[in-house]
Amino acid sequence: MTRLTYQHLLELVDGDDELIVRLVEEGVIERGDDVVPVDVDAVLLARTLWRDLQVEWPGIEIILRLTAQLAAARRRIRELETPPTNG
């Protein structure tokens, strides 16, 4: 998670206020004061799916969830493949 100001978040999504409102409504980002924790990859993926590919929000939600699960599985596999250190 990266912590961004609203202004930086707005720049990240090319000034698309409507997208930010929707991301907050959908729980992708939290509503905050000055600085909010943001999963930049999820925001950019949601922006691409919604704006460029015209995927509806239920589909975006599924894709974001599966992407997060895949990333977690990859991290877990890396942990399992890394030999323990003697120390």
Asked whether the beta carbons of 34 and 26 are under 8 A apart, the reply is no
| pTM: predicted TM-score of the whole model, two decimal places | 0.81
Q: What is the pLDDT of residue 35?
A: 87
pLDDT for the residue numbered 36: 85
* Residue 55: pLDDT over 90: yes
Mean pLDDT within 61-69: 95
CA distance 63 to 17: 22
In the structure, what pLDDT confidence band is assigned to residue 76 with cuts at 50, 70 and 90? very high
Q: Which domains does the chain have, with CATH numbers?
A: 2-81 (1.10.1660.10)
Rounded to whole angstroms, the Cα distance separating 48 from 42 reads 10
Backbone angles phi, psi at 28, to 5 degrees: -75, -35
Q: Provide the angle, in degrees to the nearest 10, between the axes of the packed helices 17-25 and 40-47.
A: 120
